[in-house]
Amino acid sequence: MNSAPANLIETAAALRRGSLTVPDLLHRCRQNIARLNDKLNAVITLTQDAESTALRLEEELRGGRDYGPLHGIPLLVKDNIDVEGLPTTVASPIFAAAPAAARDAAVIEGLRRAGAIILGKTNMDEFAAHVSGRTSCWGPTVNPWHMSRHCSPGGSSSGSAAAVAAGMCCAALGTDTGGSIRLPAGWCGLFGLRPSWGLLPMRGIYPRAASMDVPGLLTVSAADMQLLLRAMLQGDPPAAPLPERPRLGVMRALVRQEAAKAQAAIADRYEASIERWAALGCEVTDVDFPLLVEDGIGGIVDSLRSHEFHRDVRGDVEGSPARNRMHAIPAADYAAGRDMPPEVHAAAETGRRELGEATQAFFTREKLCALLLPTAFLTAPRLDAPNATYREARLLMNLFSMTGNPVLVYPGGLVDGMPCGMQLVGQPGSDACLLELAERYERRYRPFAAPEC
């Protein structure tokens, strides 16, 4: 079993009681990295000053200087987010010899001010351009659940998710463009937050598709997300009062129909989750939203991503002698953006606008606090599964990648021994409501379970 403490609140309490020290906590995380990283390939770079930082933070805590609940907490960071003193490689041969970043990304600055320790950088799909965890120039990342199965942890925040599940850190940062936090959270049995688009600053984060990119979180607890988000924002997210009986939309018929094509037991876990929300006092209502799985939405997302990817990275790609060593998937995405006729991109932008308006109208019409869905209709496949399998896994994510809605993933139980995630989708700006909902659920049901690894 991994030996990292279960959540940040328990860890913070242990540090303040003195039953745990900051150096001991760091040592536990590093022990798990040393024990498991050869098998998981989740962590690619470690900071050199973590030990000295841990000693300083321990002395300050004992001396009465307390930065708050993240004081002394070791975190890992996806390798498309700048950390001062470490290279940002985006898992690409183009940046394999990149110099150290001269400055922290904006989200890292907030975490450091809150007393967090940046332990290192995590593996990812090259250029954040896939959802498998297998396209990194540093090699694939393996899901810590039943490691011998050699399953995908989800991507592109593959290393961050695997590291948190395996106890290599207390929480990790990732990014999400088309599912890159949502799918890893679901497949590794974690909580994951894709915040509302624009809530968190993107300075110091390498772009995938700027109009959809968001930094986000992977944790073992909903309450942990609240603490981390507050530090990254340097304040509380905008909030509206949660109704006494929050109204949750569910789509039983669609989920049963689509799950039957992949893993029917996902629908059973979904029904069980619905029953739990009802028992918590939520008003659960069946809704009709066929737009969610409409043919063509994935194509719109892909067109927008390819266009923005080529636009934003061509200066790095065109001038690189390693260009021909890019993985075939980001290389094809780059070429698609380069060769895209202007009218195709214009049509995709029109489609995005219309889909956003329709989604907003749906939430308003149904008066929903959140829409409850599975994260995907299948649990983690083998890493070498066909690309079509990974495209299908994004089915319930494509729409909300474009519309700016916040999405919170939570553990929904196991199917054939592998985690099955559920997701709460809110209206843009309702991040605080989603977090409060998830914390209520967590207090009652304690859904997180660590893998045997």
- Which helix H or strand E contains 188, and what residues bound it? helix 182-188
Question: Between residues 4 and 265, which one has the greater pLDDT?
Answer: 265
Question: Which one of 132, 136, 152, 156 is the catalytic residue?
Answer: 156
Residue in 313, 293, 446, 282 with CA at minimum distance from that of residue 373: 293
**pLDDT over threshold 90, residue 237:** no
The model's confidence at residue 236, banded by pLDDT at 50, 70 and 90, is: confident
Tens-digit pLDDT profile for residues 405-445: 999 999 999 999 999 999 999 999 999 999 999 999 999 99
Known catalytic residue at 78 = yes
- Mean pLDDT calculated for residue range 221-239: 92
Using a pLDDT cut of 90, give the percent of the chain over it: 96
Query: What is the DSSP secondary-structure string of 20-56?
Result: S-HHHHHHHHHHHHHHHHHHH--EEEE-SSHHHHHHH
Residue in 451, 13, 1 with CA at minimum distance from that of residue 223: 13
Using a pLDDT cut of 70, give the percent of the chain over it: 99
Q: In this predicted structure, what is the pLDDT of residue 435?
A: 97
**pLDDT over threshold 70, residue 2:** no
43-46 vs 117-122, strand pairing mode? antiparallel
- Mean pLDDT calculated for residue range 75-104: 98
Q: In this predicted structure, what is the pLDDT of residue 6?
A: 65
Question: Which one of 160, 180, 221, 303 is the catalytic residue?
Answer: 180
- Report yes or no: 319 and 95 within 8 Å, Cβ to Cβ: no
**pLDDT over threshold 80, residue 4:** no
Known catalytic residue at 273 = no
d(CA 115, CA 68) in angstroms, rounded, equals 7
| Contacting residues for 170 by C-beta, under 8 A, at least 6 apart | 4, 5, 7, 8, 11, 25, 29, 73, 74, 75, 164, 224
What is the CATH code for 8-233?
3.90.1300.10
d(CA 125, CA 390) in angstroms, rounded, equals 13
Show the tokens assigned to 426: 């809110």
User: Residue type for 401, please?
Assistant: S
Tens-digit pLDDT profile for residues 393-409: 999 999 999 999 999 99
d(CA 140, CA 145) in angstroms, rounded, equals 15
Residue boundaries of the structural domains of the chain? 8-233, 247-294+347-429, 298-342
Q: In this predicted structure, what is the pLDDT of residue 1?
A: 45
Tens-digit pLDDT profile for residues 362-379: 999 999 999 999 999 999
Bin 222: left if φ > 0, else alpha if -120 < ψ < 50, else beta.
alpha
Tens-digit pLDDT profile for residues 49-82: 999 999 999 999 999 999 999 999 999 999 999 9
- Mean pLDDT calculated for residue range 256-263: 97
Tens-digit pLDDT profile for residues 176-211: 999 999 999 999 999 999 999 999 999 999 999 999
- Mean pLDDT calculated for residue range 18-34: 97
For the chain, report the end-to-end CA distance as a whole number of angstroms.
Answer: 5
Known catalytic residue at 180 = yes
> What is the model's pTM?
0.97
Bin 155: left if φ > 0, else alpha if -120 < ψ < 50, else beta.
beta
Tens-digit pLDDT profile for residues 283-340: 999 999 999 999 999 999 999 999 999 999 999 999 899 999 999 999 999 999 999 9
**pLDDT over threshold 80, residue 240:** no
Show the tokens assigned to 431: 């991040």
